[in-house]
């Protein structure tokens, strides 16, 4: 999988983290049906490797499917075996190095310029600014693009549809979206409401400028 191309094309990564594995699977499949092509299943959710494995079987080999909260080498091996084809980490950690060794592209969690340089040295394919709101929001992203003008940044944390447009206007390659999009769907909540939120986010992303692409 060419992660950077996918981020530039789709511009949104949905983050699924649920207390109900069956509901999490339904959430992944519903997002795919609505046209949200990049979905990350967080290892902090219930039976995340099982959700990834079942989603891979349902979606087929060509659909992008990621694993999030990958911290350790063991995590990386687990998600690779389950069928993930890209990895997202919350920090610059062992999960980055082992995922790259296994041939998986990585969106590495960063918060400072030092983190970005460290992630670059480990071969990260993109940089997840996390937690984006606490780091300083769109203004912080704009500032980072000064010393790192070509770095593919993906802000994550508290990103609603309006903020998604703002981040993209300030140079984000894509945005990562959890609860503002997923709501309670991965815990057994309404899939109809999830579909409505998905369409709203897709509309917001389509209308956003392409400063970071």
Burial class, 10, CB count within 10 angstroms (exposed 0-12 / middle 13-18 / buried 19+) = middle
Q: How far is CA 179 from the centre of its chain?
A: 12
**Which tokens belong to 48?**
């995340």
95 vs 201: CA distance, rounded Å:
29
**What's the distance, Cα to Cα, between the start and end of the chain in Å?**
18
Which is catalytic among the residues 34, 40, 98, 100?
40
3 vs 21: CA distance, rounded Å:
26
**Which tokens belong to 97?**
């190095």
Which is catalytic among the residues 34, 98, 100, 128?
128
Q: Which residues pair with 14 in a beta bridge?
A: 39, 177
Question: Catalytic site residue 2?
Answer: no
Question: Catalytic site residue 100?
Answer: no
Catalytic residues: 40, 128
């Amino acid at each position: 999988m060419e992660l950077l191309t996918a981020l530039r094309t789709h511009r949104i990564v949905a983050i699924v983290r649920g207390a109900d594995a069956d509901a999490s699977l339904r959430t992944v499949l519903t997002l795919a049906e609505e046209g949200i092509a990049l979905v990350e299943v967080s290892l902090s959710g219930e039976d995340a490797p099982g959700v990834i494995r079942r989603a891979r079987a349902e979606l087929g080999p060509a659909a992008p499917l990621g694993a999030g909260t990958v911290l350790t080498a063991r995590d990386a091996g687990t998600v690779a075996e389950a069928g993930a084809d890209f990895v997202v980490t919350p920090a610059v950690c062992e999960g980055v190095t082992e995922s790259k060794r296994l041939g998986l592209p990585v969106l590495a969690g960063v918060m400072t310029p030092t983190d970005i340089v460290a992630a670059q040295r480990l071969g990260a394919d993109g940089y997840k600014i996390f937690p984006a709101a606490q780091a300083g929001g769109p203004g912080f992203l704009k500032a980072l693009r000064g010393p790192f003008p070509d770095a593919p940044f993906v802000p994550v944390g508290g990103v609603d549809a309006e903020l998604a447009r703002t981040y993209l206007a300030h140079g984000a390659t894509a945005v990562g979206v959890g609860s503002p999009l997923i709501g309670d769907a991965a815990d057994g909540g309404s899939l109809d409401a999830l579909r409505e939120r998905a369409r709203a986010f897709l509309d917001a992303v389509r209308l956003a400028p392409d400063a970071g692409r």
